[in-house]
Amino acid sequence: MSKVQMSDLELIDIHTHAFSTSEMGIGWQHLVGMKDPSRPGTADELLGLMKKAGISRSVMLMYTPTRFIYESRIRENPLPSDPREREKAERELKSQVVQQMVQNNEWACQESKKHPELIAFAGLDPVYMDERCLLNEIDDKVR
C-alpha cells in the first residue's frame, strides 16, 4: 500500500479574509489589534499566496465589523438626546452599517465569479439586520 503524498491532495483553505482595497485590509487588521500589518489583505494577494502554497481554493469569510463601525460612528457623532430623534438616527446608522456589509458581500460574490478558486462566504448580522433583511441577503447571495 502506498502512502498518500501532499501532492495527491487538493488543499482548500476554509478560513481567509480578503478586502476590496489595501486600505480596507490594513484598517481591518488595525481594528483587530495588528499594529504593523505586513500584508494588505487584497484578493490579488490571496490568489498569489494560494498559488505559492499550492492551495487550490479559498473560502473568503466576509466579516464586516458592524458593532465597531456603529460604535465608532456614534463616538464621532453622538446620538441626539431627544428619544424620537435618537431612534431615527439609530435606524439610519444601522441601515448604513448593514449597507456596508451588503456591499462587502457583493464584492466577494463578484470576486468569486471572476476567480472561481475563491469561494464567497457572505457575512450576516442578526443584531443589525431584521428578519426580512437577513432573508433577502441570503436569497440574493445564494442565487
Q: According to the model, what pLDDT value does residue 139 have? A: 95
Cα distance between residue 53 and residue 11, in whole Å: 9
So what's the pLDDT on residue 47? 98
Strand partners for 21: none
Separation of alpha carbons 123 and 58, rounded Å: 16
Residue 112: CB partners within 8 Å, gap ≥ 6? 60, 118, 119, 120
> What is the reported pLDDT for 8?
86
Spatial CA neighbour of 137 closest among 122, 117, 119, 127: 122
The answer to whether 56 and 49 have CB atoms below 8 angstroms apart is no
Question: Is residue 15 within a helix (H) or strand (E), and if so which, with residue range?
Answer: strand 11-16
Taking the CB of residue 18, how many other CB atoms lie within 10 A of it?
A: 23
pLDDT value of position 141: 92
For residue 6, the model assigns a pLDDT of: 77
Q: Chain-wide mean pLDDT for the chain?
A: 94
Q: Which residues pair with 11 in a beta bridge?
A: 55
Interval 124-137 mean pLDDT: 96
Asked if residues 47 and 115 have their Cβ atoms less than 8 Å apart, the reply is yes
pLDDT tens for each residue of 25-47: 998 898 888 999 999 999 999 99
Q: What are phi and psi of 30, to 5 degrees?
A: -65, -40
Mean pLDDT confidence for 18-24: 95
**Residue range 74-127, pLDDT digits in tens:** 999 999 999 999 999 999 999 999 999 999 999 999 999 999 999 999 999 999
Determine what percent of the chain falls in helix, strand and coil, rounding each to the nearest 5.
55, 15, 30
